Amino acid sequence: MGATDDIDEATDMENGHDEASFDMFGEPKAETNISQNTKNAYLVLARKYRPMRFEDLIGQDAMVTTLTNAFAQNRIAHAFMLTGVRGVGKTTTARLIARALNFSSPGADAPTMELSTYGIHCDAIINGRHPDVMELDAASNTGVEKMRDLLDNSRYGPISARYKVYIIDEVHMLSINAFNALLKTLEEPPPHTKFIFATTENRKVPVTILSRCQRFDLKRIERKQLAEHLEKICLAENVKVESQGLAQIARAAEGSVRDALSLLDQALVQQSDGASDAISAEKIRDMLGLSDRNRIFDLFGHILSGDTKSAILEVHDQYQYGADPTYIVQGLMEIAHEIGKVLNLGEAYKDIESGDGYERLADLAGQTTNLGVSRIWQMLLTGLEETRRAPEPLPAIDMCILRLCGAGQVPSPEDLVRIIGGAQIETIAQKPNVSDQEISAPSSQKKNLITNQQTTPSFSNFHEMLHALEHEIGEKALVADLERYAKPIGINGNIVRLEPTETAPKNLQPRLVAALAKLTSQEWKVYLEQGGGATVHETQGKNKALEIEQIKELPQIKTLFGLFPGVKITAINASNDDNADAPQIEIETRNQAANQNGA
């Protein structure tokens, strides 16, 4: 709108003209192109579908339940601290709390969490123009002078609403002096004042501020839940997007609803106007610069099999199709993490994940172990940092792949322990009669590097295992704990099942796994289950008591008890005399026990 229009409007105001006066003073002026464009401006999905009720918040059920109970019991805090990563609903929640505090309608005039209907103040609060609800950006108002002005104004009552509400976003950006100025008012605020803080860096907020607030940590939204939310929005927008494409957006958003909606906005324009086909996952993948998940599975398979050539070619092919090397490494890390869960959860993996790709994950899990996938994870973590820092990311990921494929030919720490312990090392060059079958064996078996001359011990029972642990590798402390705190169930191959007592050390299971791996140079699994019998210590105690009762029946022992009333058998020792008819025993008289107690 030009300067002439501004002058005309000012003239009309001076003459007392308003919209209702045009019947007397002529036709109204036609809307300018600018006003028409403003009315037709596109509203991004993140703003269009901003939650207007607490029920619309996704993934924050714990916070909503707490606030609902607080409002119902009239136990509303004077200050709230909302923390969480970007885009999980901190500012939205702050506005909803402001509406709930100041809700007023002809039928209800009290704070309420029920915001299905608009109250008198709701529209002004939503649009940010209510005089009693002030939103401040701490990044732009960091100084102590701004804070003092705010605190001075907080002493005065609200103009039209029930409470004066101050919403301070990114509160961690305030200066130390501003925080200090806020302390006293925040501890004892006026009864008509409420503070709502939002931050992504709660660790930068002084603890003296945090302790004066009711804190809510907003969670990242799970991928499955976020994908379902995106699907509902697509239905509302009357557009079609393949489910795999929505899953890719949810994965790229990393738990942020706003990021997901921004990416969905971008995805919706990947299709030409008027097209009826669903937006494909391939188009969304190209938009995000991601690599095909199936091809990431193929790449991981090449790594596990040690096929360096195929792995390098696969990486370069994905790079040529636009995949970012950083995303390739992140994809490999994600699969390594999922394989680790499959290795330890089995079919239960489907209970915590969608189950997509479980068959491929299970197949890859069968080619590695917990130790192997942990080593891959560590190497990928290093490779990710190198890929981000390198001048050219492609050579960096190439070197990362070389290390990963070569890792299968390097002895594991357990193998090195065995080697140091004296196991025989033989290489192909030193071993002339190496069969073709042995050369072509998977590198994970390391047959071409190390030939273990010892066979894996086979334990028929729990006692044999304890004996081997104590006498072959000197694990006396572990054996003592197992005798006292472990109720054996059974041993089957490389799997030990036992039931720990209530007082058992928490690290008993990993200590046993590590000791068995050290003893046998094999991977063992120890399952903690119910249904164990007595511990070795309990069994020994029962056997000792039974043996004492049997000894008491011997004639010479009966005579001893008759001569010394109150005598007590304290120990039974095997006799060194081959001609002795009875074992040697240690006794304690009543006087000896009394003297020991007195001492």
What secondary structure does DSSP assign to 176-226, as a single string?
Answer: HHHHHHHHHHHHS--TTEEEEEEES-GGGS-HHHHTTSEEEEPPPPPHHHH
> pLDDT at position 234, please?
92
CA–CA distance, 282 with 248 (Å, rounded to integer): 10
- Of 240, 317, 316, the closest CA to residue 281 belongs to 240
CA–CA distance, 514 with 524 (Å, rounded to integer): 8
Using an 8 Å Cβ cutoff, are 205 and 172 in contact? yes
> pLDDT at position 584, please?
56
Cα radius of gyration (the chain): 37
Token pair of 542 as six digits: 């029962």
CA–CA distance, 532 with 497 (Å, rounded to integer): 9
Using an 8 Å Cβ cutoff, are 91 and 223 in contact? no
- Residue 243 burial class via C-beta count within 10 angstroms: exposed 0-12, middle 13-18, buried 19 and up: middle
pLDDT band at 306 (very low <50, low <70, confident <90, very high): confident
Using an 8 Å Cβ cutoff, are 514 and 499 in contact? no
Does the pLDDT at position 167 exceed 70?
yes
Kindly report, residue by residue over 63-88, the tens digit of the pLDDT.
999 999 999 999 999 999 999 988 99
**Mean pLDDT across the stretch 281-296?**
78
Say which CATH architecture domain 46-217 belongs to. Answer: 3-Layer(aba) Sandwich (3.40)
CA–CA distance, 44 with 106 (Å, rounded to integer): 33
Does the pLDDT at position 315 exceed 70?
yes
The percentage of residues in the chain with a pLDDT greater than 90, rounded to a whole number, is 28
Say which CATH architecture domain 462-536 belongs to. Answer: 2-Layer Sandwich (3.30)
Token pair of 411 as six digits: 């002895």
More confident call, 37 vs 381: 381
Please tell me the number of Cα atoms within 13 Å of 500 on its side-chain side: 14
Class of domain 293-407: mainly alpha
Domains of the chain by residue range? 3-41, 46-217, 223-288, 293-407, 413-445, 462-536, 554-598
CA–CA distance, 441 with 501 (Å, rounded to integer): 43
Question: Could you check whether 46-217 and 462-536 share the same CATH topology?
Answer: no
Q: In terms of DSSP bridges, do strands 214-217 and 486-492 run parallel, antiparallel, or are they unpaired?
A: unpaired
Using an 8 Å Cβ cutoff, are 230 and 246 in contact? yes
Distance from the first to the final alpha carbon of the chain: 103
Does the pLDDT at position 274 exceed 90?
no
More confident call, 451 vs 358: 358
- Residue 47 burial class via C-beta count within 10 angstroms: exposed 0-12, middle 13-18, buried 19 and up: exposed
> pLDDT at position 564, please?
62
Q: In terms of DSSP bridges, do strands 525-528 and 495-500 run parallel, antiparallel, or are they unpaired?
A: parallel
> pLDDT at position 536, please?
85
Complete DSSP assignment for 154-166: HTSPPSSSSSEEE
Kindly report, residue by residue over 136-153, the tens digit of the pLDDT.
888 888 888 888 888 888
Q: Which residue has the tokens 């945090």?
A: 210
> pLDDT at position 273, please?
67
> pLDDT at position 579, please?
46
> pLDDT at position 467, please?
87
Using an 8 Å Cβ cutoff, are 170 and 199 in contact? yes
Q: Which of 207-211, 250-254, 385-389, 538-542 comes out lowest in average pLDDT?
A: 538-542
pLDDT band at 33 (very low <50, low <70, confident <90, very high): low
Q: Chain-centre distance of CA 547, in angstroms?
A: 55
Average pLDDT, the chain: 79
Identity of the amino acid at 103:
F
- State the helix-helix crossing angle for 257-268 and 243-253, rounded to 10 degrees: 140
Which CATH number fits the domain 223-288, given the four candidates 3.10.450.50, 1.10.8.60, 3.40.50.300, 2.40.128.20?
1.10.8.60
The percentage of residues in the chain with a pLDDT greater than 70, rounded to a whole number, is 74
Please tell me the number of Cα atoms within 13 Å of 348 on its side-chain side: 5
Q: For 373-386, give one letter per residue: b (16+ CB within 10 A) or e.
A: bebbbebbeebbeb
> pLDDT at position 588, please?
56
Kindly report, residue by residue over 93-126, the tens digit of the pLDDT.
999 999 999 999 887 888 999 998 888 999 999 8
> pLDDT at position 13, please?
44
Integer angstrom CA distances of residue 405 from 248, 379, 595: 28, 11, 72
Which residues, listed in sequence order, are joined to residue 587 by a DSSP beta bridge?
A: 569
Q: Strand, helix or coil at 573?
A: strand
Q: Strand, helix or coil at 263?
A: helix
> pLDDT at position 428, please?
39
